């Protein structure tokens, strides 16, 4: 049952190397964790079909942990379950991404969407919400206005409309190429007798993916675990921090970005907040990290 559910969750994700690695990683094993979930649920009168998603999620999380544990920066294992480990069969980058994707596969997307007032996610329907947040490119309208925007009602025909647009890029996307392609596409959509003006163009920055193979990342993870009392997690996130990319592109150095915020911080909103506990533990965390890597 668990194998079928995992196959179902992976179906439709294509046949890219990362997806191949995901299927490879969840194959085999005794399924003991899934068995315990199903049996524990049965003891409480919960039918298998009701607990099957949880059992499959446990297996996906277990596979994720094994894929990352096998990496050279961790246990540096070449074999797992009598077969080559994922990073040996493919490469380290594929192993990291496959592990991240398996973690996303186990995520409770419905609960996550509900926490922000949604029942369904927009965007790529063959990708999970967490995967879209972590590792997929985006095109965003940050603001839009035009016509009469004052109080009351006026039958005004807008002479012009304005929009602020940004893009989050991923690996192998060139910002200049993306900008040129978007401008060409947008211009082709214009109705007759309309024109477009572009203001504030920027060269942007190419995307950078940091490698956790650097021993400093694992040292930081141990330091964070000591301070917070729970294992620190590697996650994917987009961010407009050009200097981090410059370190990677020009100096060949990975930038370590560590977040101490909470899900309800309402980042960049008018009522943004930041807990004092996060502030104080963040200070102590960096002291521990510097002590570890010094």
Q: What are the C-alpha distances in Å from 21 to residues 33, 97, 198, 278?
A: 21, 9, 43, 36
Q: Is 229 found in the same domain as 161?
A: no
Q: Is 69 found in the same domain as 4?
A: yes
pLDDT band at 12 (very low <50, low <70, confident <90, very high): low
Residue 15 has pLDDT above 90, yes or no: no
Look at residue 231 and tell me if it is in a domain.
Answer: yes
Look at residue 117 and tell me if it is in a domain.
Answer: no
Residue 105 has pLDDT above 80, yes or no: no
Pick from 266, 259, 265: nearest CA to 233 = 259
Q: Where do runs of H (alpha helix) occur along the chain?
A: 2-10, 17-26, 32-43, 48-69, 86-89, 92-105, 109-115, 129-135, 175-189, 215-228, 242-251, 276-293
Residue 254 has pLDDT above 80, yes or no: yes
The number of folded domains in the chain is 3
Residue 223's domain is classified under what CATH number? Answer: 1.10.150
Q: Is 95 found in the same domain as 41?
A: yes
CA distance 293 to 253: 15
Residue-level pLDDT at 5: 75
Q: Is 142 found in the same domain as 102?
A: no
Residue-level pLDDT at 225: 92
- Residue 273 or residue 9, greater confidence: 273
Most confident of 56-60, 165-169, 199-203: 165-169
CA distance 15 to 165: 32
Domain residues for the domain of 54 are 1-106
Contacts of 60 (CB under 8 A, 6+ apart): 6, 9, 26, 102, 103, 105, 106
Q: Is 75 found in the same domain as 30?
A: yes
Tokens representing 44 are 């409480």
Q: Is 82 found in the same domain as 34?
A: yes
Q: Is 95 found in the same domain as 48?
A: yes
Residue at a domain's end among 85, 106, 127 = 106
Residue-level pLDDT at 111: 74
pTM of the predicted model, to two decimals?
A: 0.63
Half-sphere exposure of 209 (CA within 13 A, CB side): 18
Residue 286 has pLDDT above 90, yes or no: yes
Q: Is 234 found in the same domain as 141?
A: no
Residue-level pLDDT at 116: 77
Residue-level pLDDT at 14: 73
Residue-level pLDDT at 13: 73
Residue-level pLDDT at 120: 79
Lowest mean pLDDT among 32-36, 69-73, 116-120, 251-255: 116-120
CA distance 280 to 237: 23
Pick from 157, 112, 158, 153: nearest CA to 131 = 112
Q: Is 5 found in the same domain as 66?
A: yes
Residue-level pLDDT at 291: 96
Q: Find the mean pLDDT for residues 265-291.
A: 93
CA distance 228 to 250: 34
pLDDT (tens digit per residue) in 151-165: 998 888 889 999 999
In the chain, % of residues over pLDDT 70: 99
Residue 47's domain is classified under what CATH number? Answer: 1.10.600.10
Tokens representing 264 are 């309800």
pLDDT (tens digit per residue) in 49-82: 778 778 888 888 888 889 988 988 888 899 988 8
Angle of CA points 203, 100, 226, to nearest 5°: 100
- Residue 186 or residue 270, greater confidence: 186
Tokens representing 151 are 């109080």
Residue 289 has pLDDT above 90, yes or no: yes
- What integer best gives the mean pLDDT of the chain? 86
Report CA Rg, the chain.
23
- Residue 183 or residue 32, greater confidence: 183
Look at residue 270 and tell me if it is in a domain.
Answer: yes
């Amino acid at each position: 049952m668990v194998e079928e559910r995992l196959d179902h969750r992976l179906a439709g994700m294509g046949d890219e190397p990362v997806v191949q690695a995901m299927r490879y990683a969840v194959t085999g094993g005794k399924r003991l964790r899934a068995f315990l979930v199903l049996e524990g649920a049965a003891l409480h009168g919960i039918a298998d079909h009701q607990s099957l998603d949880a059992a499959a999620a446990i297996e996906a999380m277990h596979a994720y942990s094994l894929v990352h544990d096998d990496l050279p920066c961790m246990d540096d294992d070449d074999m797992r379950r009598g077969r080559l480990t994922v990073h040996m069969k493919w490469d380290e980058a594929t192993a990291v991404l496959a592990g991240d994707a398996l973690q996303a596969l186990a995520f409770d997307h419905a609960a996550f969407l509900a926490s922000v007032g949604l029942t369904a996610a927009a965007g790529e329907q063959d990708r999970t919400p967490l995967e879209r947040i972590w590792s997929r490119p985006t095109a965003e309208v940050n603001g839009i206005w035009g016509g009469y925007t004052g109080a009351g009602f006026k039958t005004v025909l807008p002479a012009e409309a304005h929009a602020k647009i940004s893009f989050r890029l991923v690996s192998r996307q060139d910002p200049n190429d993306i900008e040129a392609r978007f401008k060409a596409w947008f211009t082709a959509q214009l109705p007759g007798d309309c024109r477009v003006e572009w203001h504030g163009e920027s060269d942007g920055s190419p995307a950078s993916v940091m490698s956790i193979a650097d021993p400093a990342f694992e040292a930081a993870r141990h330091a964070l675990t000591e301070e917070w009392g729970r294992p620190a997690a590697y996650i994917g996130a987009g961010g407009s921090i050009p200097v981090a990319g410059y370190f990677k592109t020009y100096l060949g150095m990975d930038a370590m970005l560590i977040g101490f915020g909470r899900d309800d911080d309402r980042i960049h909103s008018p009522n943004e907040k930041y807990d004092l506990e996060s502030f104080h533990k963040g200070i102590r965390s960096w002291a521990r990290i510097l002590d570890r890597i010094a």
